[in-house]
Amino acid sequence: MHGRLYSLTDLLKRTLYFFETLSVKEIAPYVRRKMLRDLPLHEVEAKVELCLKQHSCFKSDAKNQWRLDCQGFRVNDPFYHLLLKRQQPLSLWELRREEKGKKAKMKRLITDEANLISDGRFVQFDTGMWGLTEWELGMEEYPLKYLVLKVLRAHPAGLSLNQIVEAVNFWRPVTPQAVEGVLRRFPFFLQQGDNWSYSSAAQAAYDMVMKRFLDLLREQKKRHLAEREAWQKRLRELRAQLNEASAAHQQAAAALAQQARCREQYEHLSAQLSEKELLLTLRKRELVYYRDQIKRLENKAQSILHQCRLWVGRAREGEQEIARLNEVIAVLNETIENLKAELACEKEKERESRTRLAEVRDHYGTQVANLQRELIDLKQKLQQTTARYGESERRLTTENARLSSELQQALSAGQELERDYRLLQQELNRLREDYRQLERRFKHPLVRLVSKLSLFFAR
């Protein structure tokens, strides 16, 4: 091969050049393997039929069999002879450059690229160069089935297995076992003794049966995919519900953790209150001690009144000491009042915390019980759903086995139709022979004279 083909038109030219005549249904599978792998078969058939109708180099007969017109346009004959002479692809740009360097009297080799596209003798490669359809065709690209079809179509009377192998070996090496496998795989290859022949009617019936079978398989696949999507959707919903239940469990765990933190805070506050009560007791003891000191000092002052004049200085210092102690006592009294107020506030907060803790405990206990009950219901629903899905899968397996048996029955019916067709063909040959004998008898002069007289009297 000189390169890959550029378009669908070039691929159809090569295929029809080799096989001479093919229908759209026979061309479409090969084209799908080479170019349009992403499209379904019916879309490939539509594109192939549209391309065949658009270009004048493709001709069809009354049986919708397409062939390639290799006559071409006379205006492209110089370019055709030039490619035959060089035996290698050429681009239009190179030809135009050569024409510019030649004399003006030289005749143009080509006219237009559109003429080459519609000319069955030329194909274009992906490199932009043009070549001939009759060049190396690359037989390794064609399946063995198509090569055997070409051989048997060229010999309607039939060929033996060795003759078919020899004919196919002309294009590419093949073993007799491979050829025999192809002949026995498809029912439109008929064996009569040692010879094999091809039946177009049997192929049409085979294609029709295969199309019905493939349609049934597609419908079953669509139903299976729809049911599978529904079950997957249901499974996603159940997983979402399970995730919601897990989230609820996490919230309950968070609530329990918050409850533990509240309990720790309560214990911490209780410890702080105990410490403050201890401090208050110590302060009370200090106040009692100071009161005892004041009483002792007052007693001492009463005992030393007679020495006041002598001890004026000491008395003044004692009065100053007394004034300072009075100030301390006032400050201590004020501190005691503040501590009492704080103790009352802390007791109020402790009562509120205990009330809120009891409410939170009741609320989250109720939520945990509800979530456990919902989790049990969801597990039961999941088990029921799994059981229904298994039953549906068994039903689909049974349906698939039934369709396979119907396909086998359809193939056996096709074979019976093929036998009836052969019997009718033999009957038709016998009737044709009788018709020829009657025609020979009718050509006798006496018979003609009698027929004319009978027609005259009938009138």
Tokens of 393: 């899968």
Three-state SS at 158: coil
Those residues whose C-beta lies under 8 Å from the C-beta of residue 36, and which sit 6 or more positions away, are 8, 43, 44, 47
CATH code: domain 143-198 is: 1.10.10
Three-state SS at 64: coil
Distances (CA, A) of 310 to 298, 305, 322: 18, 10, 19
Identity at 297, one-letter amino acid code: L
CA atoms within 13 A on the CB side of 147: 23
Identity at 445, one-letter amino acid code: P
Parallel, antiparallel or unpaired: strands 66-68 and 58-60: antiparallel
Give strand ranges (E) for 130-170.
130-132, 159-160
* pLDDT at position 276: 83
Domain residue spans in the chain?
Answer: 1-138, 143-198, 244-413, 422-458
Give strand ranges (E) for 171-244.
189-192, 195-198
Which one-letter DSSP state was computed for residue 108?
P
> Residue 67: phi, psi to the nearest 5?
-140, 165
Three-state SS at 131: strand
Q: How far apart are CA 16 and CA 27, in angstroms?
A: 9
**Per residue in 22-43, pLDDT tens?**
777 777 777 777 777 777 777 8
The CATH number corresponding to 244-413 among 3.30.160, 1.10.3470, 1.10.1790, 1.10.287 equals 1.10.287
Parallel, antiparallel or unpaired: strands 189-192 and 195-198: antiparallel
Give the mean pLDDT of the chain: 78
Look at residue 278 and tell me whether its pLDDT is greater than 70.
Answer: yes
Q: How far apart are CA 72 and CA 114, in angstroms?
A: 12
The whole-number average pLDDT for the span 93-108 is 56
Spatial contact of 201 and 384, defined as CB atoms under 8 Å apart: no
**Maximum CA pair distance of the chain?**
199
* pLDDT at position 100: 59
Three-state SS at 6: coil
Q: How far apart are CA 229 and CA 222, in angstroms?
A: 10
* pLDDT at position 365: 78
Q: How far apart are CA 267 and CA 269, in angstroms?
A: 5
Identity at 347, one-letter amino acid code: K
**Per residue in 394-425, pLDDT tens?**
888 888 788 878 888 878 887 888 888 888 88
Spatial contact of 76 and 110, defined as CB atoms under 8 Å apart: yes
Three-state SS at 128: coil
Tokens of 121: 């003798």
Query: Where is pLDDT greater, at 211 or 111?
Result: 211
* pLDDT at position 110: 47
Task: Flag whether the pTM goes above 0.75.
Answer: no
**Per residue in 221-253, pLDDT tens?**
888 888 888 899 889 888 888 888 888 888 888
Which one-letter DSSP state was computed for residue 122?
E
**Per residue in 283-329, pLDDT tens?**
888 888 888 888 888 888 787 777 767 777 777 887 888 888 888 88
The whole-number average pLDDT for the span 433-453 is 78
The whole-number average pLDDT for the span 105-119 is 60
